[in-house]
Amino acid sequence: MAYTEAKSAYGGYAKFLGMRNEAQSRRQPKGDANTGEKLIALSASNNIDIDDEGGIVSRPGYISALAGTSITAAYSSRFYKIAYIVDNGSLKRILPNLDTTILGAVPTDDTYWVEVGNKVFLSTGHIVDGDNLIPWRVQPPQIPIVLTIGGSLSAGLYQIALTQISADGRESGSSVPIRIDVPANSGFELAGVAGCNVYVTAENGDIFYKAGYETTFILDTTPYNYPLDEVLLMAAALPDNVGPIAYYDSCLYYTLYDKPSHTTLIGWSNPFRWHTFDVFGDYFQVAGEVRLLVGLDEVLLIGTDKEILAYNGEKPNKLAKYGVPRGHNYSLTRDGKIFFQTVRGVCTMPFENLSGDKVALPAGDYCTTGLVDINGLEKFITLTDGNGVPDNSTIF
């Protein structure tokens, strides 16, 4: 029903309840027994908007404000101050006057974004820091070439490892340590240390101390007193081909979907060292394809194709036995409240389905959501490709 038809036919009603198609029309509420207020529910609508008092108004129309060549991803910061798009493989920042500035080249794959402080992380393996696009990954260096030479080292077993220093000063996980047993009065000459911190243990020791930056000679270990952070020892960079990402409990989380087993690995970074990961220990697995990953104050919210889970740092707990569509399927309000699209309607946390028992609409194979200000009200909007049948569909 269009706005003009609804206004003409039902203008005498005091309040509209919005879409209701989960019950026969004759069973929908018609009024409030306590107040006598006339109510009516809409089983279908076209270009209709409902205000906070239940009145109907014509939905505002929109025109294209910014044209792109081939826009494959978009992101707006939580406080709507900054927006980005990926257009034909270029990451562009949208300026207030709707001009754009190119920050750099990125893949055109599905892109997931997470904002941490004044930085925006992309699942493509990039970080936006101000107007600078930098790599998220800082790869550990290769094993150096080490020659034994004369020096002042005591006899014993020594270990040597390198870490890579990125252009913005982040330190990678270490290379695989080299173990060398030498006699007394020995030293080391190193090659392949460009851009690297060099660490060495004392004789027969297991604590790595910094010998210097791009150091090519180690003749003794007496002045070395700056130890390698334990979390950097053989830490890895972000894996390739990650899916949804999130920030939770001081760590950045990533997902890796394995299609043959239909399971998803969820791993996390070292706290505050968001470019380093223990890929052999810091992870857990869930069944299905993870399509939603959001860090909240109390839990990490996980949505797969079949269920919704909450991870509290110990184990994932099931919230619902239905899943979420692919895409940008959630939005956060200014005060951190989340609304997210599922195959059975719009939900929020603490977990509640806000629309599943009222209206059934196809969530589509792919969706995008947003919070927009309409007539002074902040509203959660979902756009879908319109495919599929509602998971909670009832046909009358």
For 145-204, give the DSSP string. Answer: EEEEEEEEEPSEEEEEEEEEE-TTS-EEEEPPPEEEEE-SSEEEEEES-TTEEEEEPPTT
Do the domain assignments include residue 392?
yes
Q: Is residue 369 part of a domain?
A: yes
Answer whether 291's CB lies under 8 Å from 305's CB: yes
Residue-level pLDDT at 287: 98
Boundary (domain end) residue, out of 274, 303, 323: 323
Query: What is the helix, strand, coil percentage profile of the chain, to 5?
Result: 5, 45, 50
Whole-angstrom distance, CA of residue 58 vs CA of residue 3: 6
Out of 72-81, 205-214, 279-288, which region has the weakest mean confidence (pLDDT)? 72-81
Does one domain contain both 359 and 304?
Answer: no
Is residue 33 scored above 50 in pLDDT? no
pLDDT tens, position by position, 185-205:
999 999 999 999 999 999 999
Whether residues 75 and 122 share a domain: the answer is yes
The answer to the question of residue 65 being in a domain is no
Domain residue limits at 174: 145-232
- List, for residues 344-362, the tens digit of each pLDDT value: 999 999 999 998 777 777 8
Greater confidence, 283 or 375? 283
Q: Are residues 217 and 256 in the same domain?
A: no
The verdict on 318 and 334 lying in the same domain is no
Q: Are 308 and 250 contained in the same domain?
A: yes
- The answer to the question of residue 129 being in a domain is yes
DSSP type of residue 82: -
Q: Is residue 308 domain-shared with residue 294, that is, in the same domain?
A: yes
Are 319 and 241 part of one and the same domain?
yes
Mark which of 115, 134, 153 sits at the end of a domain: 134
- How many domains are there within the chain? 5
pLDDT band at 221 (very low <50, low <70, confident <90, very high): confident
In a domain, 299, yes or no: yes
**Does a cis peptide bond (omega within 30 degrees of 0) precede residue 350?**
yes
